[in-house]
Amino acid sequence: MLDDLEGRCACAAVRYRLTSRPMFVHCCHCRDCQRQTGSAFVLNALIETDRVTLLSGNPEPVAVPTDSGRPHAIHRCPSCGVAVWSVYGGVRKLLFVRVGTLDDPGALKPDVHIYVRSKLPWVALPEGTPSFEAYYDSRKLWPPASLERRRAIFGETA
């Protein structure tokens, strides 16, 4: 349900709404995500920036180093510091919304597990969800409607 796709930081100073379902949901087990979240993995809902409505507050971008060297800005609540979304590789038209900040984080499940080569040994992956040692080819895995949305962001042709 789309109503379930509102979220907030811990102090509720930052609130947002997703105006559509995300294109795809990643569960990333890379060392960068582990380090940046202090957890075993991160759940990111990939969605166009113009499909996220800021209801209150103004998350502040914090540049963080990455193993790849590509730019990564984590947008955090200026009051409580919770990460609500990220911009990877400087692509400002695409947000990686932290699923854990949704009012109902169970509303979105991972479509894929990535960078499982660095998955912690006690994390069990669910059967039926694709997993990859590193990244994957989105053209082979994403649904056609999501691929069309991706093409619109990156100006790609089919």
pLDDT in tens, 3-28: 569 999 999 999 999 999 999 999 99
Rounded CA-CA distance 28/86 in Å is 13
Rounded CA-CA distance 119/147 in Å is 27
CATH at 128: 3.90.1590.10
Question: What is the count of structural domains for the chain?
Answer: 1
Q: Are 41 and 1 in contact (CB under 8 A)?
A: no
Checking if the pLDDT of 105 tops 80, the result is yes
pLDDT band at 2 (very low <50, low <70, confident <90, very high): low
Q: Which residues form the domain of 95?
A: 2-154
Q: Are 52 and 16 in contact (CB under 8 A)?
A: yes
Checking if the pLDDT of 79 tops 90, the result is yes
Joined tokens for residue 143: 């649904």
